[in-house]
Structure 1
């Protein structure tokens, strides 16, 4: 992600002020500017669940509208960074609530053991394998890796979004990458084993 220039920050702040005072066109312009990247981020946070990602994005923008009166256009916080942090926190909160309310299921799912199906799926769609590996990471590691290596944010921006220090971000990214490599190597090994056995 390229660094945003000060004039872009001022334009976004002006659009926010106008949107908060009821200017629908300004609200649409601001969402058009910041929404696509925020939605892509929310989709990654929710494992591709579009409805949940859209809910998080909508709640994030609602919180921005509520903060409009106190937004500091000359401050150091970029609007995109603030939106990312709020969205990440909302995603974590939703995941925790879902885990608390999930019913206990005593049934056992039987995996499809059809030879070669998983191998073909992995070969055809590496992105799906990466998504599954990302989903297996702890929340904060996944957020740090996605923000750094998929969304392209700098470590200081990620630190601001996640409410932590730059060193902690570096550690989260490094641990997340190591875990991803382990998970993806495990999938590769299973793929190779399936190819030999098939």
Structure 2
């Protein structure tokens, strides 16, 4: 049994087809799901499609959701991860689109700072994309999605020790990749 789910009430309202609840759900969950998919897939257009499919599933399943089994947020992360895996399996040998390796820099930054931020972001995105899928997933869940080791390990279906091993190998590989550039 899990502790109270902070999304339970909102999910129930979505299940009752309340338009305001749907807007709140999108506002609450879309940025993180889009970020997760973008970091795993490296393509904004695919990340948007994955996020859209995840929200379709929310709307289909909201009325039947039974709390107590798992947190809604955990289920949603698992849905997005699975959708990303499906897409990645379909393009194992393809390279990420160069123009989609990073998100736009803050428009308020000075031009030279913005350029440096874009370059750093592109280097990190390329280094992430070069990692094995499981290492990339572990890093994204922990650092970008800000999940605890236990939450990330649970989503990945591995032990915390296995997650820590993946993270260690991923950090070493990223460091080596970024130092060689």
TM range (shorter): 0.7 to 0.9
Instruction: List 4+ stretches of structure 1 deviating above 4 A.
Output: 121-124
Tell me how far 1:140 sits from its aligned partner: 1.1
- 1:31-66, Cα deviation, whole Å (9 max, x unpaired): 11111111111111121x221111101111222333
Match of 2:135 in 1: 141
Output aligned runs, 1:1-198, within 5 Å.
Answer: 6=4, 9-10=5-6, 12-47=7-42, 49-75=43-69, 77-99=70-92, 125-187=119-181
- Structure 1 contact 148–155 (Cα < 8 Å) conserved: yes
Q: Cα gap change, 1:67/1:162 in structure 2, threshold over 3 Å: closer, same or farther?
A: farther
Match of 1:115 in 2: none
- DSSP 3-state at the match of 1:125: helix
RMSD: 2.3
- 1:163-187, Cα deviation, whole Å (9 max, x unpaired): 2222221111111111111111111
- DSSP 3-state at the match of 2:158: coil
How high is the TM-score relative to the length of structure 2?
0.77
How high is the TM-score relative to the length of structure 1?
0.71
Count of residue pairs brought into register by the alignment: 159
| Structure 2 stretches lacking a partner, 5+ long | 95-114
- Structure 1 contact 16–65 (Cα < 8 Å) conserved: no
Structure of larger gyration radius: 1
Match of 1:191 in 2: none
| Structure 1 stretches lacking a partner, 5+ long | 103-120, 188-198
Q: Cα gap change, 1:124/1:149 in structure 2, threshold over 3 Å: closer, same or farther?
A: closer
